[in-house]
Chains A and B, each alone.
Chain A
């Protein structure tokens, strides 16, 4: 069996940042991603980032990706495995990989899980009709493959993803007549909401989708208003003519591998679902296995990069590499993470982490 010092699962901003620190420290790193290109969510993010200057604000996600990846891609100690899915993670720190028709195993001293998240769906009638997409998939179609998903879209969800994807659809010439949101208030940034409102999107609060219409593809959507208990109000149904329904209803951490391993996970609603219990070194309850980025709680690329660096640093120290200023760097990283999570938009994350910490 192949052996590497450190194996990182997922080459999104978290995994790339962890790899960078580990390579700098002197470790041999295997970086595995199931996609045909590194970058995770960043590969499709053509918009300017929100966040602070230090964390690449006003740069586009795709540019950040190049900054991160160009720095490490030719490193002699990096073994990049693309189009390779980690299908199993075992307590003896062996990963089972599948690449096309090939199956192989790798053993590592340290494993960093940076698998990110997957998009949530919604239960409603006909939600399996062709033409019902998750927002990330729409973004991938448009920004990675240059494919328009449809001509007229109903957007469901007013988080940043829903708002940004609605905007990008309109930039691509797709009509977005209506955006529905079940809550009372917009959950994303108001600047994004104002921007799409100005472009004519009718944002309906306390409204949700009841069913998709059509027989072999989406031909419309029925929406209805919700009462205070989030139940649909009969009689308020309204039919919207669209050929695409785009669901931007949140993400849930991809913790399956950690669960298979036997690492402890806990359900924390504010963090998107089941998340691993981590110590202050971002190590899971299984020694030598770390987790960082969206897999440890849905957040942002900016925090995923910092978390990746923290996990990478701790892993390097555990492997016995002496890093200059390690303590000062750790302290600085923890401070930036705290800063990122401060303010009103970090409230949910702070609450989630507080709940996670309180669970015994």
Chain B
């Protein structure tokens, strides 16, 4: 293993992969990525991999829009030999009642002002997009045709393969156990396989990011919570877009090989690092999907699993340099949508580390934004 590095990135998920690639692509040498288990062990390998630009806050809209622009060309940019399976067949967000519809109309106005081609649809228009949608269960919908979904495994692999070609060193089954500092400066990272000397550390540890923060004495204001998800048997293609409802608590897409993937949140699930499965989820999910997308309810469930949402107080990510610990960078708190933002996560962290002009204003993503503040803008478009 390397004993010295310019940058050590902790976490082998989509964030760590994108950060490693973006840094290497800018010419940074001796980059090390450390992963406690294996690539995509965390939320990345467990997620729905949906990509949408229909958000309720300006920041999330912009991050997502710029990330979509990257995904559209990712196959070529990363010269990937596999298939990232980016399917842009849209997101259909259904509103259950008048009040939700009103909020969505305001969101669409915001999205349109930022150049995102979303639109409000009537029930009938929604059914034209997803013919098996139960329109009795909805009020109206919004649709953005350039939203879509990816394969989380091949997308992460694409970043890592490109990063490795550029010389990035990747070590899996290598847990970080401590970060050493002297006079406030980072000296290096202790792992289960030895010490790596470095002055720059990126915390891309997903659901475990708070523990990594604690290693340098930072209390990152995030918590983790289990989110469950399932996959069905594959069937002939019948659904192009992701169908999602915040009030009904469901998202549901059909993958290119035909299986449906669907999930929902449980606000009563205890905070913590449990990633188990429950029968309560299975039953609630089956009822919800049978109501909204009746034919999908007929399918057999193949597998169910759980993964961690890492929640920030305002449901927007923390992509930040630490003011108090020089050389410590943070990319966490994605609140359930860090997969789709990964291209921007990588770019912004690179700009911070290299002192480049940021592509976006960074205050709204900073760790310090939460200090002594009321939460300003709370993203509500989250399942």
Q: List 6 A-B contacts (CB under 8 A).
A: A87-B301, A88-B277, A88-B304, A90-B278, A94-B279, A262-B276
Interface pair B277/A90, CB less than 8 Å apart: yes
What residues of chain B lie closer than 8 Å to A78, measured between beta carbons?
none
A96 interface hit (Cβ, 8 Å) = yes
What residues of chain A lie closer than 8 Å to B216, measured between beta carbons?
none
B282 interface hit (Cβ, 8 Å) = yes
Q: Which of B234-291 contact A (CB under 8 A)?
A: 276-279, 282
* Size of the chain B interface, CB-CB below 8 angstroms: 7
Interface pair A88/B282, CB less than 8 Å apart: yes
Task: List 15 additional A-B contacts (Cβ < 8 Å) besides A87-B301, A94-B279.
Answer: A88-B277, A88-B279, A88-B282, A88-B304, A90-B276, A90-B277, A90-B278, A90-B279, A91-B276, A96-B279, A96-B282, A105-B279, A260-B277, A260-B304, A262-B276
Max chain A CB contacts within 10 Å: which of B279, B282, B301, B304?
A: B279
* Least distance between B283 CB and chain A CB atoms (Å): 8
Bound together, the chains give a CA A105 to CA B304 distance in angstroms of 16
What residues of chain A lie closer than 8 Å to B277, measured between beta carbons?
88, 90, 260
Q: Which of B160-190 contact A (CB under 8 A)?
A: none
Bound together, the chains give a CA A105 to CA B282 distance in angstroms of 11
What residues of chain B lie closer than 8 Å to A94, measured between beta carbons?
279
Q: Which of B64-88 contact A (CB under 8 A)?
A: none
Bound together, the chains give a CA A260 to CA B282 distance in angstroms of 13
Q: Mark A71-111, 1 if CB is under 8 A from B, else 0.
A: 00000000000000001101100101000000001000000
Bound together, the chains give a CA A91 to CA B306 distance in angstroms of 13
What residues of chain A lie closer than 8 Å to B279, measured between beta carbons?
88, 90, 94, 96, 105
* Least distance between B266 CB and chain A CB atoms (Å): 14
What residues of chain B lie closer than 8 Å to A262, measured between beta carbons?
276
Bound together, the chains give a CA A94 to CA B276 distance in angstroms of 13
* Least distance between B276 CB and chain A CB atoms (Å): 5
* Least distance between B323 CB and chain A CB atoms (Å): 40
What residues of chain B lie closer than 8 Å to A91, measured between beta carbons?
276
Q: Mark B292-335, 1 if CB is under 8 A from A, else 0.
A: 00000000010010000000000000000000000000000000
What residues of chain B lie closer than 8 Å to A260, measured between beta carbons?
277, 304
Bound together, the chains give a CA A96 to CA B279 distance in angstroms of 7
Q: Which residue of B lies closest to A95 (CB)?
A: B279
* Least distance between A261 CB and chain B CB atoms (Å): 8
